[in-house]
Amino acid sequence: MLRFIPLKVQAGIAGFESPAAEYTQLSLTLDQILIDHPSATYLGIVEGESMTGVGIFPHDILVVSRAETAVSGDVIVATLNGNFVCKIADTKNMRLLSSAKGFNTYQLNDGDEFIVEGVVTRSIRMHRPFKRGLV
Amino acid sequence: MYALCDVSAMYASCEKVFDPSIRKKPVVVLTNNDGCICATCPVARKMGIGKSFVPYFTVKDELAAMGVVIRSSNYELYADLSQRLMDTCARFAPDHHVYSIDECFLYFGSYIPDAGWQAHAKTIRRTVWKEVRLPIGVGIGPTPTLAKAANHASKRIEGFNGVAVIDNNAVRRRVLKQMAVVDIWGIGRRLARRLNEMGIETAWQLAESKPALMRKHFSVLVESTVYELNGITKLSWDDVRSPKQQIYSTRSFGERVTDKSILRQALLSHVTIAASKLRRQQGLVKTIQVFVSNSPHDRDSFYRKSVTHQFLTPTSDTSVIANTVSGLVENLYRQGVHFYKCGVGLIELVDAAQYQADLFSLSTDNALLMQCMDSINARYGRNTVHIAGQGTTPQYTMKREFLSPQYTTRLEGLPRILCD
């Protein structure tokens, strides 16, 4: 059984504005939480299941920052032969790793068109799909 | 020192940012209603596809045979990437001026980068490529005109590779000698022809001529240009009209602005400036861009917002544009933000003389109704509400048959990323 200690909430001396009032305009937005570099951040929608091991599922939304520099182990978005792909960077061995069973590691070759587009800094898990049936 | 940064083949380059499958292909972008070619990427240019305003239907089959990718103008995408470009460039100098959708001036004042100008210019170029994925040329010089000349050199004169700095007489001479007068900032075609008749062919020859004589023969503007080519700043960027198809009016505030009505007033004054420039060149505007931001140098988290608005009927009426911008302020303003800068860009223009009014064209007298309709449409998608007379087949939405998705401004347009 929980016990409650009744406390009267009072905002200072009557006639003065609550000291908390000045904070009311600092409303938190998802942009602040999800985006570190607004001018270099892009969104993308996931297709495929090779990254479920790091919690990235089909139709999730990736927050991709071009301001970051990819280091080994980062989840990145890259252009690979004409497609955007999401993989884990293994810069030492020049490989692109998947994070789910049954998906192969991709070894980069000289002939590949490859460029890192950005680092996935956040991802948004779509526990329910968009109501309007976007994807 | 000043810098001028501009994007090579802006519209075509923007199309490549979010579509990796066409990065290496020839791409051309068509003007409104898919009428003419307005941008050609370097790959296409190498194949001999001209840059000029060729009507699309005359080259349609030829382009198809060459495997050229065709795109309609995606102004929503270009305006968004333009904003990102401007924000990124602005980080590198104390002062910044948007000149057109794809170029901006940076003013350094007394600032001198530790690593030197050449390295600074390279950093700007590399950063824009990394963070925005747009290829830019950077020109740096002691005056706006010389910065513009350096920018020209960065792209057109061999050996510069996208970056040129005019910081001594040897480079100035080398660049100006290889530059035709017509390529100088503010020297139009007609003026260039008259200069040619006087025996002045290169920028260097103009730089060497007597300023007073140029004033006598031509105008104060040409006199100023001569001074500028010699490193003496005479022009403010507002003096010279952009030869491109956009008009921008933008300023940073003297003091940070937090009040909505002051922000609105500032934006409306930009409307007045831009609209009068527009009327001066007998233009009508179809698409405007309105943007606000705080300073990236402030301690608050960075805030910027930009909206584009398309007019159903092109207009040059200040009150019509002002009404629209006034309505957009609600979308742009946020309480608690210390606004540092705002501006208005007329980014899609048509020639008033050549504009053929639509039979069903809305009367501009009914500005309020238009604003209401447009703000509903801006929120819920184009044509959510429209007048009955328009009918069910949209008569005057732009024809954009080859339109790419709005990758950054619409949920439906977000790029797909493969995990396979």
What is the model's pLDDT at position A2?
Answer: 45
Is the pLDDT reported for residue B158 higher than 50? yes
A114 touches chain B (CB under 8 A): no
Q: How confident is the model over B122-140, as a mean pLDDT?
A: 97
From chain B, the residues in CB contact with A98 under 8 A are 419
Q: How confident is the model over A55-76, as a mean pLDDT?
A: 96
Nearest to A83 among B20, B132, B133 (CB): B20
Q: Give me the residues paired with residue A95 across strands.
A: A90, A107
A56 touches chain B (CB under 8 A): yes
Q: How confident is the model over B89-104, as a mean pLDDT?
A: 90
In this structure, of B210-214, B341-345, B388-392, the range with the lowest mean pLDDT score is: B388-392
Task: Check A18, A27, A39, A50 and give the catalytic one.
Answer: A50
Nearest to B416 among A45, A56, A98 (CB): A45
Q: Between residues B189 and A85, which one has the greater pLDDT?
A: A85
CA separation for the pair B193, B176 (Å, rounded): 18
pTM for the predicted model, two decimal places? 0.74
Residue B282 half-sphere exposure, CB side, CA atoms within 13 Å? Answer: 5
Task: Check A65, A87, A98, A123 and give the catalytic one.
Answer: A87
CA separation for the pair B284, B272 (Å, rounded): 14
Q: Between residues A59 and B396, which one has the greater pLDDT?
A: A59
Summarised one tens digit per residue, pLDDT across range B169-190 is 999 999 999 999 999 998 888 8
What is the model's pLDDT at position B141?
Answer: 96
Q: Kindly report the average pLDDT of chain A as a whole number.
A: 84
Give, in degrees to the nearest 5, the angle at Cα B146 between B143 and B147: 85
Q: Between residues A6 and B23, which one has the greater pLDDT?
A: B23
Contacting residues for B344 by C-beta, under 8 A, at least 6 apart: B248, B249, B250, B267, B270, B271, B274, B288, B289, B290, B325
Nearest to B381 by CA among B346, B340, B411: B411
β-strand B103-107 against B2-7: which pairing, if any? antiparallel
Is the pLDDT reported for residue B385 higher than 60? no
Structure tokens at B333: 């303003």
Residue A87: active-site member: yes
Is the pLDDT reported for residue B292 higher than 70? yes
Structure tokens at B36: 């003419």
Is the pLDDT reported for residue B99 higher than 50? yes
| B401 Rama class: left (phi>0) / alpha (psi -120 to 50) / beta | alpha
A47 touches chain B (CB under 8 A): yes
Instruction: Kindly determine whether residue A44 and residue B415, on different chains, have CB atoms separated by under 8 Å.
Output: yes
Is the pLDDT reported for residue A99 higher than 50? yes
Q: What length does chain A have?
A: 135
Instruction: Kindly determine whether residue B417 and residue A26, on different chains, have CB atoms separated by under 8 Å.
Output: no
Summarised one tens digit per residue, pLDDT across range B2-41 is 999 999 999 999 999 999 999 999 999 998 668 788 899 9
Highest mean predicted confidence (pLDDT) among B77-86, B265-274, B312-321: B77-86
What is the model's pLDDT at position B104?
Answer: 93
Summarised one tens digit per residue, pLDDT across range B205-243 is 999 999 999 999 988 889 999 999 999 998 776 665 555
Q: Work out the minimum CA distance from B21 to partner chain A, whole angstroms.
A: 4
Instruction: Kindly determine whether residue B417 and residue A32, on different chains, have CB atoms separated by under 8 Å.
Output: no
Spell out the alpha helix ranges (H) of B198-317: 203-208, 211-217, 220-229, 260-280
